[in-house]
Amino acid sequence: MLFKRTTANPEFDAPFNTLRRRARLLHVNIKYNGVAQTGSVLLLGAAQRIRLWPGPVAKLGQCRHSRDLDVQGIVDVSDLLVSDLKRSAANRYEPTPALEFRHVLQSLKLPYEQYDFVDYGSGKGAILAAAARYPFRQVTGIEFCANLHANAQRNIAALKTRATDQIVSVLADARDYTPRPGPLIVYLYNPFNYDIMGPVLENCIQAAQHSDRPCYLMYKNPFLRDRLDAHPALEKVREPFGGSWAVYRFSSGRQSQAPQSVRT
């Protein structure tokens, strides 16, 4: 694949097609934020690179969160308040660009009100806030780090949405949480290694087996893509944003309608 590379942080980032990702980001930013705001982001970013703008600059793919929400910033593994054993299996927290998430989710063209949404490794709750825009039956974040979980609870309390009662952050080891049976969307932002991923997948597959609709796994920064590609109960639908995402469909004998494809 042309322009396929590993980013500046190869220990965290999966390879992707940079040209296709940037083109899709530009398209999505214009779609959700408009031409004027997109142009402003590009100009300020250019000014910052040549040191004409000293302040913070939003990146393509991001949207303006409520000022009451604290979801930004990277939290390194060394700053997670967990045991050394758990830390060795974890990856850093970094918020997902919300516009990327919305684009991939909406491309599935699902009746959200019939689905549960589960974010494994939900951190401060950035994607929980983004998922709250949609009428899911329930939005659940699973986080094993106490300080990030507490941050997420504060953000959930600050959300001004009718769906707040259906949003929860659960402090738990991801392997110990099994989604309730039925239609399911699972989200991952490269939160842990395969020692954790394996049992998590088995729990999600178990829940998906009881669904009469297609169930999906949305995987941002698919560092373990090769392992998931080879999994017999997963079928890759597409790789949006130049492969910086991977979307899979869970196998289920009860699904009664044809699944939708995700556009890149």
Nearest to 71 by CA among 117, 128, 131: 128
pLDDT per position as a tens digit, 6-57: 455 555 677 777 788 778 877 777 877 778 766 666 665 666 566 665 655 5
pTM check: above 0.85: no
CA distance 178 to 203: 5
Which domains are present in the chain? 4-49 (no CATH), 77-250 (3.40.50.150)
Reduced to 3 DSSP states, what percent helix, strand and coil does the chain have, rounded to the nearest 5?
40, 15, 45
pLDDT at residue 27, rounded to an integer = 76
* Weakest-pLDDT range from 90-99, 105-114, 174-183, 224-233: 90-99
* Weakest-pLDDT range from 62-66, 99-103, 196-200, 247-251: 62-66
CA distance 220 to 100: 9
pLDDT at residue 59, rounded to an integer = 61
The token pair that represents 213 in the structure block: 């609709």
Query: Quick one: pLDDT band at residue 200, thresholds 50, 70, 90?
Result: very high
Better pLDDT: 74 or 57? 74
Total Cβ atoms within 10 A of residue 257 = 8
CA distance 228 to 197: 9
